[in-house]
Chain A
């Protein structure tokens, strides 16, 4: 894995798309993300932020899901 420029999902703006590299969190949160399809290689589109910024709505595997920025920051991605 190239370490020169790691982006995390919380850094993306609405409208941007990315490919998931890794989920850097384990435990219940990591498991839940995995269950919902956050698996390396999957494409994610950032749709919009809620009025008070958190949470962020994403499109993944054909469905929409909202997650917290505090969880999104563990999701390492490549911007497309």
Chain B
């Protein structure tokens, strides 16, 4: 793919009800257009904005709870991430319901995606009595975490800044979170990961992620290996 860095592509991922669309609208304003993902009737929203002279193209992924291959939306989101190789993934998480929303975050990290997390609905979260230590969360996840209240336009500037930094590869965090699945599984994972890493047919993929999906019995990944 011809990628002159005239514009950076940022995929926007989030679970249903994370405020993904609100954040999307906050960032891009009215400059949006709608298409379909090729071959499937899943709406693809694209928005473009300019920040500090840099063009950023946001692609809205379907809202999904995770990234397995069970539903069409999940497959669409996952395939976009793998095949289009966006410069950055913006993960929207509902701060008032963080535990559930971090499931997707961890899956994105497992895929090896460069990530910026927007902690949305901070006002509701506070109203419910949650206090979130964003610094620690960012350290733990190994990616920048930006608190936002998209409905009120809060955090727009900070988020745009974090996105640009992420696209330019200038943020100070390094994706570092690795889920430890326990000794027995890790042993098998290690072996699988090695084998996959040594096979250049799979060089598009994060080897550990493929190994995890293989073990989990993901039908799409499995069929890939049958071929």
| Bound: A61/B100 CA distance, A | 8
Q: Are B100 and A37 in contact (CB under 8 A)?
A: yes
Q: Are B97 and A35 in contact (CB under 8 A)?
A: no
Q: Are B97 and A31 in contact (CB under 8 A)?
A: no
Q: Are A31 and B99 in contact (CB under 8 A)?
A: no
Main secondary structure of the interface of B (DSSP, over half): loop
| Bound: A61/B128 CA distance, A | 13
Q: Are A35 and B71 in contact (CB under 8 A)?
A: no
Q: Are B65 and A32 in contact (CB under 8 A)?
A: yes
Q: Give the chain A neighbours of B71 by CB distance below 8 A.
A: 28
Q: Are A35 and B66 in contact (CB under 8 A)?
A: yes
- CB closest residue in chain A, given B65: A35
The 0/1 profile, CB within 8 Å of B marked 1, for residues 13-38 of chain A is 00000000000000110011001110
Q: Are B99 and A37 in contact (CB under 8 A)?
A: yes
The 0/1 profile, CB within 8 Å of B marked 1, for residues 24-59 of chain A is 000110011001110000000000000000000000
| Bound: A36/B103 CA distance, A | 8
| Bound: A27/B128 CA distance, A | 34
Q: Are B97 and A63 in contact (CB under 8 A)?
A: yes
Of B70, B100, B103, which is within 8 A of A63 by CB?
B100
Within 8 A of A (CB), among B96-110: 97, 99-100, 103
Q: How many whole Å from A38's CB to the nearest CB in chain B?
A: 10
Of B65, B68, B70, B97, which is within 8 A of A62 by CB?
B97
Chain A residues within CB distance 8 Å of chain B: 27-28, 31-32, 35-37, 61-63
